Structure 1
Amino acid sequence: MSANNKKISILYIDDEEDNLLSFKATFRRNYDIFTATSSAQGLNILNNNTVHIIIADQRMPQSTGVEFFDIVRTAHPDPMRILLTGYTDVEAIIDAINKGQIFRYIKKPWDKLELQTSIKNAYEVYTTRQNLKIKIEELQRTNDELNRFVYSTSHDLRSPLASVMGVLNLAKMEGSVKDPNGYMGMIESCVNKMDFFIIKVIEYYKSVRVDEAYEIVDLKKLATDSIDLIRMQNRSIIFDLQVNQPEEFWSDAFRLSVILNNLISNAVKYQKPDECNPFVKLVIDVNQQEANILIEDNGVGIIEDHLNNIFKMFFRSNFTVTGLGIGLYIVKEALTRIGGDISVASTPGVGTSFLLKVPNMKPVRESE
């Protein structure tokens, strides 16, 4: 019984009215009882009343108890289901249990104590599931509110950062501030890093919350735009872009851009300081089914023990480089949303390569 002493509500379905009367006479003081002599009556009761537990006889003329439960669990998944059977229909019972159609089965004629215990256990499971559902909904609401707060705050923070950067640039242009110790450069560096972190947070929010939008994507232009954006991080990097796109490629341009930006940025960020010929290579090959994208560098590499963890949020394989540890997590999340996959191979001190497989979501026309 629940904490507020509400009675357990039970629907009992049986084509034999004597059985219904016997059940009602036995348990009317303990439970709120609805009875029905057919599946149609039972469905009508479920549509108009709150029912915690359904008890149905297996052998009924219009449909078996298992068949009724199979129909009911789609429209009314919450009530617990108990099957009564006077026959040794073992295969049907096992199949029903395996498919999750019934909580328990009891042989007829039923024993009062056994049935009462089964009802008690079923209601405990019912209340546990309802409480869990409420908690999940509360967590979802809290998570949504937190995401919106983070997104809104991130946007609001970029405005004062832009103002600070504007003042710094103005001071440099006018030469009005003497800075023999390089403090202005340090401030500029910190502002840029903070702005970079905020952009990553916004990227994550959009990747998780924004719905997929599929369109024709020019992968050469997309990759070129990413390279031009990231080239400023290290102008000594040699970029080698090879694109073979003989087919129309349909995908989510926004998420692909986020994926390429993060992977190319990492390839640049984790270069060896003493490397004479740093490079980042992109090879993109498109066919009717998918796009294969290889991003390779000759940077510091990743040790084998870290390869299984690099896509986890906040994991960083190299603490000598400043970062949030969410770039590859964003990549993995965005790829999952568009049905793609990613693999990585790396040798410490030699470099890292990421191979992406992104499905071509080209719409199928009726003529095809």
Structure 2
Amino acid sequence: FNCNSIIFAGYGLKKDGYNDFENINVAGKVVVIFKAGQPTDGDKPMVSNPKTDGSALSGKIKYLTENKAQAVIVVDPSIDNMSANLKNYLVSPQLVMKTEEVIKRMNLPQGMAIINIGSAAATKIFAAAGTSVDALRKKIADSGKPASQELNVTISASATKVEKPVRAENVLGFLEGSDKKLKNEVLVITSHYDHIGLTTSGADKVNNGADDDGSGTTGVLMLAEAFAKAKKAGKGPKRSILFMTVTGEEKGLLGSEWYSEHPIFPLEKTITNLNIDMIGRGDKAHEADNNFVYIIGSDMLSTDLDKIGKKANKDYVNINLDERHNNRTDPERFYYRSDHYNFAKHGIPV
């Protein structure tokens, strides 16, 4: 956008007794608001509950969007103290998988632009209009009334979307079952082989991810080797097994999502997904005995899977099966945060 004036709308509040948008038409305009803070009535804040009275930033954005503002510039002093790592995160490219849904979303008409600026940038904008952040805050505080106004300052901003295709692969290994009928059913064993990429400092910038999820990937390879040897010895499984290490888990479970939407073997013939994630270390809850594993999801879609797994554990290895996170409402939300979820959402036991 390119504009010759902007609308200053104070704290962006619209409530009984105080309305920053009174007598202002924001349609098609660039509007500047303070992200935080509030006017006072004497020593008493005029805002009681940001969640219900529209004073939270989301409420301000909602109002401006509904009233068709062209853009909103949010003055947020905390940006000036933002760490370098957080700044890099905010401006880093976004990796998405181009599914039909994503393509449709990317092609939607451009909505209202939301631009966050720190105090340094705000100072320059208001100085060009012959005022300052402090002066405007003081005017509101002294009068107890909005100081909304049009500011004669030229602002232009533009952003160009740059798309760069990135190729990544899931790696699959298939072991056919020995039973003529049951071999058409497939057990899928997964892990993710990606980690979080490069860091911004240090001599070794590569985040190797030995535990997350090199440990799970190694586990899949060891299982594949063991089952291949068993089959060679005439003791292979009756059902088929697909060993799969997937890509893009850290970017949103992308590899497993792709497979679940484009399966090599029909999902209706996929009996179970066993997903292995971060089995390479203990934690504070198990310092006394790290012979444990967290089990998540085994009883959510199939009671049989849960019973079979626990019996096998009791009969052969007898490790501690910790189920403290085995809950859809668990605060950590692990059930939704690894590749098994893309099978579970299709009704496949995990």
Which TM-score band (shorter chain)? under 0.3
Greater fraction of residues in helix: 1
Q: Relative contact order, CA 8 A, sep 6+: which one is greater? A: 2
Greater Rg by CA:
1
